[in-house]
Amino acid sequence: MKNVLKRGALVGVGAFVVLASCTKLEENLNSTATQAQASTFLGATADLNVLIQSCYDGLQIFQNQDGPTSLMENSSDESLVPTRGGDWDDNGVWRVIHNHTWNADHQQVQNVFNGLLGIVFNTTNVLTFTSISTAANKDQIAAEARFIRAFAMFTVLDLYGQVPFRQPGEDLRNPPTVLSGTAAADFILSELTAIRTNLPNSTGVPSAKRATKDAADVLMMKVLLQKGTYANRATPTFAAADMAQVITLATGIMNSGRYSLATNVFDNYARNNDAISTENIFTNENQGSSRGGNVRSSWYKGSHYNQNKSGWNGFTTLADVYDKFEAADQRRGVVYPTGVAGLPNPGNRINAGFLIGQQYNLANDAALNDRRGNPLAFTRTVALQESGANLEVTGIRVNRYPVDYVSSDDQADNDYVFFRYADVVLMRAEAEMRSGNTAAALVNVNNLRTRRGATPLASLTAANMLDERQREFYWDGWRRMDQIRFGTFLAARTLKPNVSDPKFLYFPIPNSALAVNPNLRQNPGY
């Protein structure tokens, strides 16, 4: 049978396949009338809760070490994947992301593009079902689907500058329309405005696993802050009306009483963060030992093979990032409770945040060695291509999510964090700063710093505002956006000695996508 759908499979299409032979499906699915008949049958019987859950599950792509977060973080100044002898070479795919030397044939660039558009496709398909469903919750399900679609479209827009898009029920034989620039941003904002009424009210952290009004407001804030970069990537400007709306939305959430800055920032990422976080506004649910995404890669990708738990010994951060933290700033690293009798951490070793220096067995505090018998002591220095006796230990490692020692290796219980209350605070501060109210912005920044154990800033500049966002959100997937917005993404930095070509402000449209959609255009320079 020919692949008549091209971009993914229709959600629930399997129910239709059992009614007809493969040949019959091939002959008739291209007919708009047949699509409508199939959708009517499926829509009348579809379980909307199952369909929307599959869309939430699609967001698990963000938890993968080679997903959208990799393109956002490894292209920035705070994450890299050095090649260690023969480990982590993969034909140089990781190095070119950090070096800004990727091209349109890069497999990760292609996979992320396709994966995100799969979310857009599936959520749009759910809207076909909700439009004809008689279920009592169809309006809420439709609003949640449009929220997830808006989030995926925002990510595609920011990475690639263009977003292929279909309206529900469109003829699949026709290539999708492509939205780009501020037109795409305005569409996403209009979607978030339209769905807000039908999204459930937020009740604080317990409701963070599903889209809510607060989640929509946070996404709207992010689009408004980033919108200037879609008009002009190299020299963005920020409209006063957009900044005013960010401040209004943030103030509503801050005054709601539903959230507060956590006593320990790592509670927001812990295995039981769905119960103890006071900040999380939108998360992706994981259930230890049973279901969820690859959140374990958060620690696996950097931890050494001999640590508890054993890892892949890949990703590191740079000393430039580590040195931005004061010693008392809890965000730099803490001793985080494991909750496991067999791993009591008798030496009170830092096990959440940045891992640097000698590492220890958390069960008996014995000093660990690498596989060559050398002390397992992570160094400040690191190169993109490592060789020599110490290649296993170079680079400071990061445990953003405290290790789940309770669940099996295949599934961890830490819910993946997209939106936090701290981001609302700092987005409001940034909008205030860009609106000329630096005094109000400084108050919000210092309230956050005080909660984290850091010394209040004496003044606020664009540079230390960007640094504060890095201290609060390192490895969360926002750094590339932040650097583009503040104009530092192309700059020379450690392990990238030259200013990058402006073309690297966008990732290229994969050649495979250009081949099937004539409405796409390759980004300049590729």
State the Cα–Cα distance between residues 74 and 60, nearest whole angstrom. 19
pLDDT at 182: 97
Write the pLDDT tens digit of every residue in 298-355.
Answer: 999 999 999 999 999 999 999 999 999 999 999 999 999 877 878 899 999 999 999 9
pLDDT at 204: 82
Between 2 and 442, the more confident residue is: 442
- Give me the CATH topology for the region 43-255+505-516: 1.25.40
Please answer whether residues 242 and 227 qualify as being in contact, where contact means their C-beta atoms are separated by less than 8 angstroms: yes
Lowest mean per-residue pLDDT among 15-19, 126-130, 219-223, 456-460: 15-19
pLDDT at 339: 74
| Residue whose C-alpha is closest to residue 142's, from 154, 133, 152 | 133
pLDDT at 5: 37
pLDDT at 179: 98
pLDDT at 39: 52
Provide the mean pLDDT of the chain. Answer: 91
* Separation of CA 138 from chain center: 28
Domain boundaries of the chain, sorted by first residue: 43-255+505-516
pLDDT more than 70, % of the chain: 91
- Is the per-residue pLDDT at 32 higher than 80? no
- Is the per-residue pLDDT at 435 higher than 60? yes
pLDDT at 28: 40
Lowest mean per-residue pLDDT among 27-36, 304-313, 511-520: 27-36
Helical axes 138-160 vs 181-195, angle rounded to 10°: 160
pLDDT at 2: 34
Q: Where residue 82 falls among pLDDT bands split at 50, 70, 90? A: very high
State the Cα–Cα distance between residues 293 and 287, nearest whole angstrom. 9
Task: Provide the token pair at 404.
Answer: 């789940």
Write the pLDDT tens digit of every residue in 374-388.
Answer: 999 999 999 999 999
Helical axes 421-434 vs 213-231, angle rounded to 10°: 40
User: In angstroms, what CA-CA distances link 434 with 244, 421, 441, 459?
Assistant: 10, 20, 9, 14
CB-side neighbour CA atoms (13 Å) of 36 = 4
